[in-house]
Amino acid sequence: MRVCRPGGRVLATEFFWRRPPTAEARRIFLGEVCPGLHFDSVEDWVAIYRDAGLADVRTTTGPFDMMTPRGFLHDEGVRGCVRFMGRALTRSTYLRRLAWLMPRMARAVPYLGYIVVCGRARSAGRQARS
């Protein structure tokens, strides 16, 4: 919001819990995969963006399935998946990172969703204080 001119548009994507996660899924996702991220619901994200100065807030939500094989294939296509795997195989550090990440994401994905937040930056005189 600080770099958007008054009246400018903001479009952002975030995670949210589509349903309450298990304690293990919450701990793994927020403690290991995305440490420091704090969120719970769509309403939480809307409040954060409104408090930051976004007006006319609209959202779209859906399941976060990009980290599933089917979702990744749908998002990237066959060529993109082949390119990704080709890059992943070029360095052992990439493979180790994927081997670490994928089982952790598998625990959280059933509970995760995505939210797209869209709105307009308020004029300077109407900015909310944080």
C-alpha triplet 105, 47, 33: angle, nearest 5°: 15
Is the pLDDT at 59 greater than 90? The verdict is yes
pLDDT at 128: 46
Q: Report phi then psi at 120, rounded to 5.
A: -120, 135
Indicate whether 41 pLDDT > 70. yes
Q: Which CATH architecture has domain 9-121?
A: 3-Layer(aba) Sandwich (3.40)
Distance CA 81, CA 111 (A): 24
Asked whether the predicted pLDDT for residue 21 surpasses 50, the reply is yes
Contacts of 83 by beta carbon, 8 Å cutoff, 6+ apart:
none
pLDDT at 69: 81
CA distance 92 to 68: 22
Domain ranges of the chain: 9-121
| 0.85 exceeded by pTM | no
Mean pLDDT score, 42-59? 93
